[in-house]
Structure 1
């Protein structure tokens, strides 16, 4: 006899109705193999007496079990465990160690094999709650949250709800593409229309889609020796071969690129961050920009231009993107608003000839179908009413002052320990530490003092130790920058 009285426990203080508690517990007993297929259950009156419950509660529990498919009723005979369940043999309780390392959805390893790609193993950057000199993040305290909230609310009052909350254009919300086209044309000298723009969830998605469409196994991609690992990972995932050329005080060495194209076979794509090279922040010199475009036309390679922080330049004379001078359609221009507003707002974009944008949108459809229409509409509204332009101007003044302050502190407090070139724009300083300082140890010690910054390992080219890192200043107030440099100075002089 199955001891139903001890197996079924009822909690009358629970918010879950009693009949559902019984039905769920019966299902658990069947899944565990305690109750087997075809087993007869007690009659409703008998089980009600055992559990001291109203018979109608048991009737409701059995009805729910039948609705879920666990139970079956036989006319004139009673209620049974459904016959279509396979026999389940209860297993003894496994040890904690076996459970953690075992297979199954709750274990660590699946019952099938797959290839784990080592180049994908890379820590995700996050913003800490304490003091931080990060990779170059914006200060989310400056973001136009109230204005964005109002724009969100207007979304629910605007347009036809049936189309407004249904599937949208895979290229992104038309309002945002229209407004972004105007913004890019005005500020970057581009000549776009909305059909030249694909809205993505951050620039990394744009890089991924572009890599998947343009690259095939064996294609050659050229980057700087120091570069952004996020882009390189996407190139590697396509099976492409990556080659590097030096980066100096004037950006990517275009002469070295020309020699590579001439003597080492065809190049499919060249990845650059010309406005502020990542991670060193140097700007690609004008003559090199011209030569790079000429090389693209001569050798037929794609220029993938990642312009991640164009909105923040401090000399009032920004150099226009490569895309603005592209006459032959050789440039794919990728940008993002996450660095301009806040990382949580996953708005990026790809600008290219319409034939490529159409293909990217077709690929995006099987990955994400579409972006976030509500967020895209809200950001489009902020462009349209001028709020984002006001935010950019306010942030530019603030970040300019913070850049000047951190550079002053590095000069006065850490002159002998850190060498740097004052960046013309962007949101971080490329700090080159004295070789006597172990940057990894220093970063670990700083965490104990409430300060976080990167140990720079991600920026090291293979086989090299740069002992350098990015010290982001934009997300910290001047007071926070002073306290951060004070901690660093104390640890270095310890």
Structure 2
């Protein structure tokens, strides 16, 4: 048994006198850690309160308080006239060499065990402090009616009914689903009831639960040759074998899919038909009909993501495939409130009731409580018409920004680039007609306060393009950003084909 005098307490006890945690509790916690790690062995005697207080330069009463706390918790036994001893809980403990002791005030830098790691889920997003930043197309949070939202949020919290719903999220979601289903029916031509709807935190959460339910390892999932990377990450993570289809000005190549179906068993096809990500093209009416027919014939599931559906600038609106689905082959996922700041939006899934019921089981584990108050606020914005008015107002701003962005690109870059003004969404697909290293272009732009993240750059043997979001930048900010990119292009000395 080690003598308490020989134990190097100063090597593993470090007390922070500026911490809000009382000193006696810090001492008690670190002595517990020492016992758990085998630095103080079961049955060993620990120094008396006077000796330890002198060693650690503490008031004796502080050490006494720490010992009393350890005694009450069952870590030490205090024997009258004999001293304090570490309790023996019949654990097999081997004595550690004291030269191997480390400070108990630090936390391990790595695990002592193996665990599954995935490169698939590496964060694709980058951060920068540049003045100007491109992204793949997001709303301008500066247009969010914060005052109105805060008023609704405050009023909702003050209601007595809210207290009941906070303890019963399912009860609250009924009102939310009723309002959201009405909104989707009127804006998207759907014919759903509230039991065909599941509300989630985001589109990504919706896709994850959908994928867990319908995809088994090695199932084939079809996506566009260029497709939404977060969806691809989810499909890879659940073990799907992801294959691609070509994408042209009419969307994904459904004829190519028909050929593939003759030799390959396909579980699901993931599409963003309204504004294909990243090229922004819309899936043609003919291909929509053909895709639904193929799903019925071959039994694969269509996962329809309504990406950027709310941002449409043309008078003629294309209805989602889900509005024409009579065989229950389409799972419709999307986000609501995307025109607001991200924290105020939510995701949803539309599907037949039996599938929604099963999804609810998974969601109750992942996110059982949800965000009851925010969902109530969004539901009230629908009921009062505030959401429609905000979207209508912001669409005018985004349309102006789209037109300005196209105008400036044409003026600065001319025939060096090609693009088609998008009919909807918050980004445009810019194709380069000259040889240019997009990574080098991005690097030079960053030196001049324009950040171009990697996730909007697409460059391979067939493609040199960028997805440039215009929604989050004012006309002046976009003009300044594009001028920086134009100057950077000149510096890398590209030549026209």
**TM category, shorter:** 0.7 to 0.9
Cα deviation, residue 6, structure 1: 8.1
- Post-superposition CA distance 1:78-122 (Å, at most 9, x none): 322223363451464699xxxxxxxx97334642253x4443345
Bigger drift between 132-141 and 21-30 goes to 21-30
Bigger drift between 430-439 and 348-357 goes to 430-439
Please name the residue that 1:300 is paired with: 299
Judge conservation of contact 1:309–1:340 (CA < 8 Å) in 2.
no
Bigger drift between 5-14 and 248-257 goes to 5-14
Distance in 2 (CA, whole Å) between partners of 1:147 and 1:394 is 15
CA RMSD of aligned residues (A): 3.0
Give SS of 2:304's match.
strand
Distance in 2 (CA, whole Å) between partners of 1:251 and 1:470 is 16
Asked if residue 476 in structure 1 is aligned to residue 476 in structure 2, the reply is no
Bigger drift between 27-36 and 365-374 goes to 27-36
| 5+ long unaligned stretches in structure 2 | 492-497
Give SS of 2:231's match.
helix
| 5+ long unaligned stretches in structure 1 | 96-103
Asked if residue 60 in structure 1 is aligned to residue 86 in structure 2, the reply is no
Distance in 2 (CA, whole Å) between partners of 1:45 and 1:15 is 25
| Residues 46/386 of structure 1: CA separation in 2 closer, same or farther (3 Å cut) | same
Distance in 1 (CA, whole Å) between partners of 2:316 and 2:47 is 85
Distance in 1 (CA, whole Å) between partners of 2:108 and 2:473 is 41
Cα deviation, residue 232, structure 1: 2.0
Bigger drift between 82-91 and 381-390 goes to 82-91
Judge conservation of contact 2:206–2:333 (CA < 8 Å) in 1.
yes
Give SS of 2:46's match.
coil
Judge conservation of contact 2:128–2:451 (CA < 8 Å) in 1.
no
Judge conservation of contact 1:364–1:370 (CA < 8 Å) in 2.
no
| Residues 42/109 of structure 1: CA separation in 2 closer, same or farther (3 Å cut) | closer
Please name the residue that 2:447 is paired with: 448
Cα deviation, residue 404, structure 1: 0.3
Judge conservation of contact 1:221–1:242 (CA < 8 Å) in 2.
yes
Judge conservation of contact 2:456–2:467 (CA < 8 Å) in 1.
no
Cα deviation, residue 239, structure 1: 2.9
| Residues 105/416 of structure 1: CA separation in 2 closer, same or farther (3 Å cut) | farther
Q: How do 1:161-180 and structure 2 match up within 5 A?
A: 163-169=164-170, 173-180=173-180
TM-score (ref. length: structure 2): 0.87
Cα deviation, residue 427, structure 1: 0.3
Judge conservation of contact 1:323–1:332 (CA < 8 Å) in 2.
yes
TM-score (ref. length: structure 1): 0.88
Give SS of 1:270's match.
strand
- Length, aligned pairs only: 481
- Post-superposition CA distance 1:48-68 (Å, at most 9, x none): 677787654443221112234
Bigger drift between 283-292 and 37-46 goes to 37-46
Distance in 2 (CA, whole Å) between partners of 1:396 and 1:36 is 70
Q: How do 1:194-273 and structure 2 match up within 5 A?
A: 194-261=194-261, 263-273=262-272
- Post-superposition CA distance 1:160-203 (Å, at most 9, x none): 56633325229x82222111111111111111111111111211
Cα deviation, residue 329, structure 1: 1.8
- Post-superposition CA distance 1:114-135 (Å, at most 9, x none): 3x44433451366866212211
Judge conservation of contact 1:279–1:459 (CA < 8 Å) in 2.
no
Asked if residue 2 in structure 1 is aligned to residue 5 in structure 2, the reply is yes
